[in-house]
Amino acid sequence: MAQNQFEYIIIGAGHNGLVAAAYLAKQGKKVLVLERRSIVGGTVVTESFGENFAVDSVQTGGNLRPDIIKDLKLPLSGLDGTSRPAFISLQPDGNHLTLNEESIKRFSKKDASRWNEFVRFMDKAASILDVAYATIMPRLPKNMSLRDGYGLLELGLELRLAGRKDMLNFIRALPMSAQELVEEYFESEIVKAAIASVAIHGSTLGPMSAGTGYTLIHNWLNRGELAHSNVGKAGEVTSVLANAVKSFGGEIRTDAEVAKIKIENQIAKGVTLSNGEEISADAILSSADPKHTLLKLVGAQDLPPEFVWHTQSIKMRGSVAKIHLQTNGNHGIPAGTLCVAPSIKYLEKAYDAAKYGEISEKPYLEVTTLGNVVSIHFQFAPYHLKSSEWKVERAKVENLAINTLAEHFPNLKSSIVNRKSITPLDLEQTYGLSEGDINHGQLMLDQFLFMRPIPGWSNHKTPIDNLYLCGSGVHGGGGVSGAAGRNVLKVLK
């Protein structure tokens, strides 16, 4: 095979692109991964912003599915379901809640008695969703193939095996709001809000929005409960994956931005890089988001009008900013995942601002620490600001984050020596996420299962032959799991 001719080109070296590349390289295929940044990892990355200032820059930690770790023999430990790091809700009066039976007792004995039942149901619901995410969805409303039917049969069997009650409760939970779901178990506002905050993490939705029952189960699945595990290890996950690609004989090129996918007679033939270099391949897999891949790298002229309309309509509503604080170590914040989510109303009001294109004055925060570095996930900071622009709003979001957190940790402000913030615009420009959408498309019920990324195209294929999608924007994503990168292998010719 000629030097610039490959069997597979994978666009993007995020975790999904690397998972797909590693499986293909393991099969002995000639594989090339092209990444526009100078480092691999996409959103699962650990970066240094100065001396003593290294941190998971966007996504905190990250867990691949255990079958991927096993198949690719990756030196990583998966979620074992037993280690559950602390998830702490910060209260204005300093009376913080750790989400476990013992601590919940201080707020409500009744809630404490229901905690284990809630965890059991959520674990069960997450395991059902995991099976759904491993199943290639049929291309409804097109006819179903025998293979589609078989996949669905397996999913149906899993649901049935879950038991009648859990099956019903799982199906009921998906369209519910997080508020409705937690109210079925708990009475304490503090407990309810802490759990509901995880439902809206990364979504431009409030805890009263329909479908946040689903996003709660989704985030529970990818985290392995409420708290982040593997804090500080995002970069390790993707560098281990990159090493696997290379050890199986695959090639990875960084600083290699794909400008165009070359198409002849509706068949993908290769790519043209921003520097003009052309590389040919039998098939192209893109882990960049569907809007970027289809509207920019392919282009409307090569796609059917209705498909273009559907792709343009994918909801990308990024509203997350990240603020990292380098401190002298005296920040006073304990280990674990902490949230500022004192009540359901507080969270809903934080979301209200995003609806009107405004930055939340009283934001929902999620906080992790890595030694001297404090990382703050800030919602809501909408990509589309109604009456300002991100060039001038960076300081505002940084100050809101610091002031809100400092109400709980008085030593924080004086401990700060440096800061680095990532706005939704930075998520687009630096990390390649269209409209700053962390999941390559909102996780909503009309962008779920056979409707992800768009109805009729949920099986990784596109109207262009030999062009496949394998990133978070397709069924199996978003979030960190590797499911989309693993599943695409099932549909390649």
Q: Which residues bind ligand FAD (CB under 6 A)?
A: 11-17, 34-37, 42-44, 58-59, 201-202, 219, 222, 257-258, 287-288, 292, 297, 320, 322, 377, 427, 432-433, 438-439, 471-472, 477-480
Shortest reach from residue 93's CB to ligand FAD, in Å = 28
Closer residue to ligand FAD (CB): 219 or 415: 219
SS (H, E, C) the chain: CCCCEEEEEEECCEHHHHHHHHHHHHCCCCEEEECCCCCCECCCCEEECCCCCEEECCCCCCCCCHHHHHHCCCCCCCCCCCCCCCEEECCCCCCCEECCHHHHCCCCHHHHHHHHHHHHHHHHHHHHHHHHHHCCCCCCCCCCCHHHHHHHHHHHHHHHHCCHHHHHHHHHHCCCCHHHHHHCCCCCHHHHHHHHHHHHCCCCCCCCCCCHHHHHHHHHHHHCCCCCCCCCCHHHHHHHHHHHHHHCCCEEECCCCEEEEEEECCEEEEEEECCCCEEEEEEEEECCCHHHHHHHHHCHHHCCHHHHHHHHCCCCCCCCEEEEEEECCCCCCCCCEEEECCCHHHHHHHHHHHHCCCCCCCCEEEEEEECCEEEEEEECCCCCCCCCCHHHHHHHHHHHHHHHHHCCCCCHHHHEEEEEEECHHHHHHCCCCHHHCCCCCCCCHHHCHHHCCCCCCCCCECCCECEEECCCCCECECCCCCHHHHHHHHHCC
Closer residue to ligand FAD (CB): 49 or 188: 49
| Residue 326 · residue 416 · CB < 8 Å | yes
Shortest reach from residue 166's CB to ligand FAD, in Å = 23
Shortest reach from residue 410's CB to ligand FAD, in Å = 27
Shortest reach from residue 256's CB to ligand FAD, in Å = 6
Closer residue to ligand FAD (CB): 342 or 477: 477
Q: What dihedral angle (degrees, nearest 10) is formed by the CA atoms of 6, 11, 16, 20? A: -10
The CB-side HSE value for 78 (13 A sphere, CA atoms) comes to 17
Residue 377 has phi, psi (to 5 degrees) of: -90, 125
| Residue 4 · residue 278 · CB < 8 Å | yes
Shortest reach from residue 123's CB to ligand FAD, in Å = 16
Closer residue to ligand FAD (CB): 294 or 427: 427
Shortest reach from residue 384's CB to ligand FAD, in Å = 17
Shortest reach from residue 35's CB to ligand FAD, in Å = 5
Shortest reach from residue 474's CB to ligand FAD, in Å = 9
Residue type at 315 in one-letter notation: K
Closer residue to ligand FAD (CB): 270 or 479: 479
Residue 34 has phi, psi (to 5 degrees) of: -115, 120
Closer residue to ligand FAD (CB): 404 or 423: 423
Closer residue to ligand FAD (CB): 112 or 129: 129
Closer residue to ligand FAD (CB): 230 or 326: 230
The rounded distance, in Å, linking the Cα atoms of 491 and 459 is: 7
Closest CA to 443 of 202, 234, 245, 179: 202
Shortest reach from residue 372's CB to ligand FAD, in Å = 21
Shortest reach from residue 29's CB to ligand FAD, in Å = 19
Closer residue to ligand FAD (CB): 229 or 415: 229
Shortest reach from residue 150's CB to ligand FAD, in Å = 26
Closer residue to ligand FAD (CB): 159 or 242: 242
Closer residue to ligand FAD (CB): 167 or 211: 211
Shortest reach from residue 432's CB to ligand FAD, in Å = 3
The rounded distance, in Å, linking the Cα atoms of 24 and 397 is: 42
Query: Tokens 């007679």 label which residue?
Result: 265
Closer residue to ligand FAD (CB): 151 or 441: 441
Closer residue to ligand FAD (CB): 42 or 232: 42
- Taking CB atoms, the residue at the shortest distance from ligand FAD is 14
Closest CA to 492 of 287, 284, 304, 289: 284
Shortest reach from residue 202's CB to ligand FAD, in Å = 5
